[in-house]
Amino acid sequence: MKHAALRFLAFFGVAFAAGWLGSYVQRSWSSHSAVQLQIADSGAASARLANLSSAPASFQEASALSTPTVVFIKNESTAQYSSPLGWFWDFDPFGSRGPSMSTGSGVIVSADGYIVTNNHVIQGAEKLTVVLNSPKKEYIAKVVGADAGSDLALLKIEAEQLPTIRFANSDELAVGDWVLAVGNPFNLTSTVTAGIVSAKGRNINLMKNQFPIESFIQTDAAINPGNSGGALVNAAGELVGINTAIQSNTGSYTGYGFAIPSNIVRKIVTDFIEKGEVQRGFAGMEVRELNADELEDLDLNGSALRIVAVVEEGPAYKAGLRKGDVLLAVAGHALSGKSDYDEHLAYLRPGDLLDVDWLRAGSDKKSASIKLMSKQDNQALLMKGAVSSDRLGADFQPLNASDLAQFGLNQGIRIINIRRGGAIAQMGLPNGFVVMKFNGQAYAEPEALIAAMERATGRIQIQGKDPNGTTRTYSFFSY
């Protein structure tokens, strides 16, 4: 396993960490499922946690409450072991396939056997075995739901009267609060380590997929491989997060770990139980954080987000927002960064309203309610008018009016969903590249451009714009 300096690694890998992470809780916390999750009373929690900013004399009670709810998970799969001679025509005659086992942790969230863990803990599994803390009884687990975007999964075992974790409101967790990491590192079951919350709302670019959710709790409690899917609890023994990743150049603990906030965990668990998949709401826009100069130009003191893309006819577009507008607050709360926006969006489902305060250059602050759409509707809008080419290995989409205005063009074809191994990928064109001319000819329809590209031979030249608007020319002899 290769370790780059300060490389973010998951605690636990499937088949020697192949990809290492190959692998949202309405705030009312109401649940419509038959499964009842234990939720800490906010008032009682405040009383319990009033003195937790100072070091407690002992973590014995918190450990006793949380340890029985954390389980050991064994992932059995079949792995391909390559020979030193490499692959030949997608076949390695000297390689072999054999059994592989990796381990991780999980947290019992219902007395009848629902267990939450990380998606990367269970990915690729042919058999999942759950071992209780006490007694050391084993159960075969089935996957209820898994989501790469949040790196969460829900398992179910056939059992009754199991000890369950109590969910705390992770919004109430503060930097400096004491926390415990409970899990099974290095196959050492029932290990508890202590530390503090070092930061909240961390985005560490861990989730390598199209719709990631990243707003991690950062802690210095020692977390190691095998802790993935385990519990991060407060000094009252209540769940504040699911341990997910470490920052390390050795693969083991070197200072910081990261956990998914319990509020996001609870929402996703509810989605899995009720729907079998995560119910994510999409606003139809992309945002980025403003830098210091941009904030000064707008005479803003705090953080804000710039809208860098708006899907035409999407929810944000219908609510009046456009590219270049600035988001100031969501649901009445000032935004501390993009991860704060992502986390709030993670709590909402299709049909829910996202209330935003926003600003457009030269005008006063405005407010809008954005009715969120489903992932399917979002994808349909993103693919509107797109034509696919299997031979070229990509989809081709005409620019809409707002896109044309953005790029300053009269016509253009955007290349999207580039598939690995296809001709477009081999050319090195970036996803979202806008073709202005192909071999000196401009094209208004995707079908015409595809036909020209598929039959072209000899010298080829493509002129267009990168997603950021930079004009580029690519030349090839043949492909």
Over the stretch 170-202, which tens digit does the pLDDT of each residue have? Answer: 999 999 999 999 998 766 677 899 999 999 877
- In this prediction, residue 309 carries a pLDDT of 86
- In this prediction, residue 10 carries a pLDDT of 39
Compute the average pLDDT of residues 394-417. Answer: 88
- Neighbour-count burial for 362-379, b at 16+ CB within 10 Å, e otherwise: eeeeeebebebbebebbe
Over the stretch 418-441, which tens digit does the pLDDT of each residue have? Answer: 998 888 988 889 989 999 999 999
Over the stretch 100-127, which tens digit does the pLDDT of each residue have? Answer: 888 999 999 999 999 999 999 998 899 9
- In this prediction, residue 38 carries a pLDDT of 77
- Number of Cβ within 10 Å of residue 140's Cβ equals 10
List 151, 271, 325, 395, catalytic entry: 151
- Number of Cβ within 10 Å of residue 84's Cβ equals 7
Integer Cα distance of 134 and 143 in angstroms: 23
- Number of Cβ within 10 Å of residue 115's Cβ equals 29
List 31, 100, 105, 120, catalytic entry: 120
Ranked by mean pLDDT, the top range of 96-110, 224-238, 247-261 is 224-238
Q: In what order do the strands lie in the sheet with 387-389?
A: 387-389, 394-398, 413-416, 434-438, 460-465, 471-476
Please answer whether residues 233 and 273 qualify as being in contact, where contact means their C-beta atoms are separated by less than 8 angstroms.
Answer: no
Handedness of CA 234, 155, 189, 37 (dihedral sign): positive
Over the stretch 300-355, which tens digit does the pLDDT of each residue have? Answer: 888 899 998 898 899 999 999 999 999 999 999 899 888 889 888 988 999 999 99
Active site annotation includes 23 = no
- In this prediction, residue 340 carries a pLDDT of 87
H or E element that contains 406: helix 401-407
Backbone phi and psi for residue 457, each to the nearest 5 degrees, phi listed first:
-140, 170
Integer Cα distance of 8 and 232 in angstroms: 19
Active site annotation includes 110 = no
Q: Where are the alpha helices (DSSP H) in 321-400?
A: 338-346, 375-382
Q: Answer whether 0.95 is exceeded by the pTM.
A: no
Active site annotation includes 333 = no
**What residues does 114 pair with on adjacent strands?**
156
DSSP designation for 133: S
Please answer whether residues 85 and 94 qualify as being in contact, where contact means their C-beta atoms are separated by less than 8 angstroms.
Answer: yes
Q: Residue 252's closest CA among 232, 226, 234, 217?
A: 226
Question: Regarding predicted confidence, which is higher, 375 or 251?
Answer: 375
- In this prediction, residue 266 carries a pLDDT of 95
Compute the average pLDDT of residues 45-61. Answer: 63
Length of the chain: 479
Integer Cα distance of 197 and 121 in angstroms: 24
List 150, 228, 262, 339, catalytic entry: 228
